[in-house]
Structure 1
Amino acid sequence: MHTFLHLSVVSIFVSQMANAVPTDTDPAGFSHAYQEYNQAVKANNQTDIITYARQAYELGAVKFGVDSLDSAKLAINWANAIVEQSKQKNSGRVVQDNQVEKAQQLFEFALGVYRQQLTENDIDIIDPLIGVAQTTADDAYANKVLFEAIEIAQKSDHELTVAEVKTLAFYRLTGTEFYTRTVRNFAVDAYEIYVSKLPENAIKRVNATYLYGALNEAMGKHTKAIDALVEVIKQYQALPYSHPHELRAHALLVDIYQKRGQRDKATEHCVAIGKMTPWSEQQEQTPLFRTPPDYPMSYVSRGKSGWVKLQFTVDEQGFVQSPQVLESKGGSLFEKESIEALSQWRYAPKFVDGKPAKGTSTVRLDFTLG
């Protein structure tokens, strides 16, 4: 299952709907439903948003005609409410189920109306195209409509829309067979547009900078990655809350600096993460940098598998100290390789009363032949 993102590239309700709604009499109840929907959106009340989005669509279809542009836009509102509900239930991911299938049907309906009533490259068509891409389980279809959306955005000569659509296309197609160099470069294109068009503290620009840094880290372009990730941290530190990208930027920098042998710089970011995140003695801590243990060749030839559970101390700088075997299965060489590997790992230190302190954690390393 893929991760999809919610789009709001252009206004989803841009018609003269307000002028079309009578203010005196409304026997079908559309005015009330639509007003309640708007109030729910302002209050960020997801339950009411989805309830009144559906009512507004169903009543609007009667009022304006099922194949009208207004009905199509009301369908998009309802579909987006379904998508948002799915994201909230599934920690930011849209998971395919009957409700999301309903959202796709609504987006498809809206897309059909838009194609009939708008010009071929009208920018409003981008909304249902992206909606279809985010709700379909068919990667090939998603790829097709996303490239159409990008083409329309480019012909509109609105660079910020191009950047947003390319970013969404990158996330939707990552992890599919349609993730190509072209798709990867969508993230770079978006970053360059945001840098040229938005102030350095604009959230969309900072998010694009994080993605640009992460891509360069993955490609081994560490200098570019460092510059981008340091900029991300700088901007998010000005916020009154911790942003996930700030944590991830610190974590990527730990990995980069460790690989480059710059342990002191890695320590700076280990400590920063420790300050931002809680420590629990009751669970395994997540390593910020790790090297896998070597599989003993003598065990490979004999087909041996096993595991090792270790306890260790994370010092004030995030280094591993005093790794000890608690339990193991398979042989002493697994224990030896586990200790050697774990000694090179880095963690975020525990914080007590605002200061880094030593903490104890455990980890289990599994040795399994393919």
Structure 2
Amino acid sequence: MKPQHLALFVGLSLSAFTNNALASQTDNAKAAFSTAYQSYLNAVETKHDIEQAAKRAYTTGLTFYGDKSDNTANLAINYAKAITPPSTTSNKKNIRQQRYSLYSQAYTILADNHGKNALQTLDALLGKAENAKSASLAEDHLERIIDIAKAQNKPKFVADMQFEAASLLASKFAHKKFRAAQKLLNEADEYYRENLDENTVERIKTDFLVASFAQSKRKYKKAIERLNHVVSVFDSNLSFDHNAELTAHSKLVNLYEKTGQSEQATKHCLAIAEMVPWKDSQEQTPVYRQPPKYPVNKARQNTDGIVVLQFDVDTAGFVKNSSVISSEGGHAFEKSALEALKKWRYAPKFENGSPVVASTQVQIDFKINR
């Protein structure tokens, strides 16, 4: 149930009207909608001005189809999905309310037309859950989705909906609904592990989410086990690199470093290095980064700082030979930056299939939140 813009069948057979004015008005509404909907399809294809086009398609479609048509419901869903998240937090609440209202309108129409247990309502229900004003309301909508799935007597479909619900609760309401999300995830995971091959997308996605849950509870051993399973699946079944495998390697570097297993972390640093080319022209991104401590005296003085460092990344991805190129704010920032950098890990540079020592730079900014 990933967000997708829905296709819409435009052609309707209209009853003949004896009133020529009414017929003309209907023809005009149909023409206006057809133009607006085509503009929307073009916007989706070009990925440009989708929100504005979706709004126009929705408003003209509402006039043409009325407020009881499935087409109007689908147009409302399209518009809700197209609304761009705000760049600032000030309007997030209003955007959420606007989306929720559109999804609610769509749900009411679809439930009236097909019944509250109909599959047609699932997309609208998921949208309501994603934009609910409270964790409890979101959970209510998700429970409704799972109940509808169970009524279909398709166990995998139920597991899929449980996974989607767990993902949503974890991403938006983890602080309030962690246990509920974990229960749903465990049920989906149990079904997948018993019924699906280990190289399926569902198994891999579940491994990542289980690992995330485990890490949040400091159950590092369990998280490491699941992520290593992801890596082994890709190594055994694919002859090419994949972003999911790269992500698993990166997360394992962090977990092994957190648990003091630098030797194990090195294996994954090397794996990342083989997958991602070293770019001399760019600042390299650390695979594991420990934030520097803000000097206490500088914090008290409300002072910012900048430190630019040069260093080598050895063949195992460790930082060596670090030195200060330039700095602003004083020696305390330099000392803190150097101490933190010692614990960072990088994916080393590869040449002709083997790791080599390479030099790079990094700028560390110290800023007080004012």
Q: CA deviation at 1:120?
A: 3.5
Which sits farther off after the overlay, 54-63 or 178-187? 54-63
* 1:196 matched residue in structure 2: 194
What does the per-residue CA deviation read over 1:189-223, in whole Å, with 9 as the maximum and x for residues that have no partner?
Answer: 33333223322222122111112122223322222
Which sits farther off after the overlay, 98-107 or 170-179? 98-107
Distance 1:126 1:148, change over 3 A: same
Preserved contact between residue 304 and residue 330 of structure 1 (Cα < 8 Å): no
**Matched position secondary structure for 2:253:** helix
What does the per-residue CA deviation read over 1:298-335, in whole Å, with 9 as the maximum and x for residues that have no partner?
Answer: x3796575533322111222110111012334443443
2:123 alignment partner, one of 127, 131, 135: 127
* 1:166 matched residue in structure 2: 162
Preserved contact between residue 121 and residue 152 of structure 1 (Cα < 8 Å): yes
* 2:327 matched residue in structure 1: 328
Preserved contact between residue 311 and residue 360 of structure 1 (Cα < 8 Å): yes
Correspondences of 1:210-225 after superposition (within 5 Å): 210-225=208-223
- The letter of the residue matching 2:125 is L
CA distance in 2 between counterparts of 1:77 and 1:369 reads 39
**Matched position secondary structure for 2:321:** strand
* 1:248 matched residue in structure 2: 247
- The letter of the residue matching 2:259 is R
CA distance in 2 between counterparts of 1:293 and 1:48 reads 42
- The letter of the residue matching 1:169 is A
Structure scoring higher RCO (CA < 8 A, sep ≥ 6) equals: 1
Distance 1:188 1:277, change over 3 A: farther
- The letter of the residue matching 2:324 is V
CA distance in 1 between counterparts of 2:98 and 2:246 reads 36
1:360 matches 2:356: no
CA distance in 2 between counterparts of 1:337 and 1:260 reads 23
Q: Could you say which structure has the larger radius of gyration? A: 2
1:145 matches 2:141: yes
**Matched position secondary structure for 2:317:** coil
Distance 1:47 1:341, change over 3 A: closer
CA distance in 1 between counterparts of 2:325 and 2:257 reads 27
Preserved contact between residue 100 and residue 132 of structure 2 (Cα < 8 Å): yes
Distance 1:340 1:197, change over 3 A: same
TM-score, normalization by structure 2: 0.71
Distance 1:194 1:36, change over 3 A: farther
Distance 1:29 1:56, change over 3 A: farther
CA distance in 2 between counterparts of 1:244 and 1:136 reads 31
Q: CA deviation at 1:230?
A: 1.4
Q: CA deviation at 1:288?
A: 1.8
* 2:272 matched residue in structure 1: 273
CA distance in 1 between counterparts of 2:251 and 2:156 reads 27
CA distance in 2 between counterparts of 1:259 and 1:138 reads 34
CA distance in 1 between counterparts of 2:212 and 2:256 reads 14
- The letter of the residue matching 2:289 is R
CA distance in 2 between counterparts of 1:44 and 1:98 reads 28
TM-score, normalization by structure 1: 0.71
**Matched position secondary structure for 1:180:** helix
Correspondences of 1:280-295 after superposition (within 5 Å): 280-294=279-293
- The letter of the residue matching 1:231 is H
1:67 matches 2:68: yes
The count of residues paired between Structure 1 and Structure 2 equals 349
* 2:224 matched residue in structure 1: 226
CA distance in 2 between counterparts of 1:332 and 1:180 reads 44
Distance 1:53 1:157, change over 3 A: farther
| Structure 2 portions without partners, runs of 5+ | 14-26
CA distance in 2 between counterparts of 1:102 and 1:250 reads 39
CA distance in 1 between counterparts of 2:259 and 2:64 reads 65
* 2:350 matched residue in structure 1: 351
**Matched position secondary structure for 1:121:** coil
Cα-Cα RMSD: 4.7
Q: CA deviation at 1:178?
A: 3.8
**Matched position secondary structure for 1:215:** helix
Correspondences of 1:4-15 after superposition (within 5 Å): 6-7=2-3
Which sits farther off after the overlay, 267-276 or 165-174? 165-174
